[in-house]
Amino acid sequence: MPAGATSSAHAFEEADREAVYRAISTRRDVRAHFSGEPVDDAVLARLIEAAHHAPSVGYMQPWNFVVIRDAARRERVRDLFLAARLEEAERIAGDRQALYKKLRLEGICESALNLCITCDRSRAQETPLGRWHNPQMDLYSTVCAVQNFWLAARAEGIGVGWVSIFDEAALKALLGIPEHVVPVAYLCVGRVSCFAEKPDLETQGWRSRMPAAELVMSETFGGEGETGLKAAIAGR
């Protein structure tokens, strides 16, 4: 069988498989490369539909998508971010504060639009399939929707930046989000001038990508073994 071929009747063709892996490996958390070009509703619709096809425990589909285009509202969101960033900076180790303050951590006003993906925690209360023992599964399911959106956006040439530095109560008040709904991801979305070769935080020296092979364990946490798998991962 040729290298890279598969015997599975359900596998994608090689070019399609490579496109999926390419979207995953070249996805970036975009902050500084937004071009300002608008995103067509037809494209945004495809991205939201991709997010809506995410796996959800109990098929609860707990997400909603709040589109924020208004410039004045986005400026107010940015003010929330700046206030929260000052608070976070105080908790960064002293020798890292200088670098932290140089990092570009948002593109709220520069992107074409913002999108807040929320989790309605009451949506499947009457039938808590898969949530009885782990009630956090609705939040995890919503994160899967975020990932779907992000990967589809990369395939469309659309940049996405996840802004997490907010006071949640203040953000909910600004966006009129009900008490029982959780804002899971606040995303900056737009066309970009480029996608960076490496994640910005790696390029700027904040952290480096950990070798995946070092994160593999066998049978139990910390268990040794899987040498063949680790070698295969390291050899990619």
Q: pLDDT tens-digit profile of 68-90?
A: 999 999 999 999 999 999 888 88
CA torsion, ordered 104, 117, 45, 78, to nearest 10 deg: -40
Do 96 and 166 lie in one domain? The reply is: yes
* End-to-end Cα, the chain, rounded Å: 19
Give the dihedral of Cα atoms 130, 136, 141, 145; nearest 10 deg.
170
Q: What is the pTM of this model?
A: 0.90
- Please indicate, yes or no, if residue 38 is contained in any of the structural domains: yes
Same domain, 172 and 155: yes
Q: What is the pLDDT of residue 7?
A: 65
Pair (178, 86) in one structural domain: yes
User: Which helix (H) or strand (E) covers residue 6, if one does?
Assistant: none
Same domain flag for 57 and 33? yes
Within a domain: 8: no
**pLDDT digit string, tens, across residues 146-198:** 999 999 999 999 999 999 999 999 999 999 999 999 999 999 999 999 998 88
Q: Pick from 200, 176, 214: which is nearest to 77 by CA? A: 176
Among candidates 133, 119, 141, 118, which has minimal Cα distance to 56?
A: 141
Residues 36 and 151 placed together within one structural domain of the fold: yes
pLDDT at 41 over 50: yes
Range of the domain at 216: 207-236
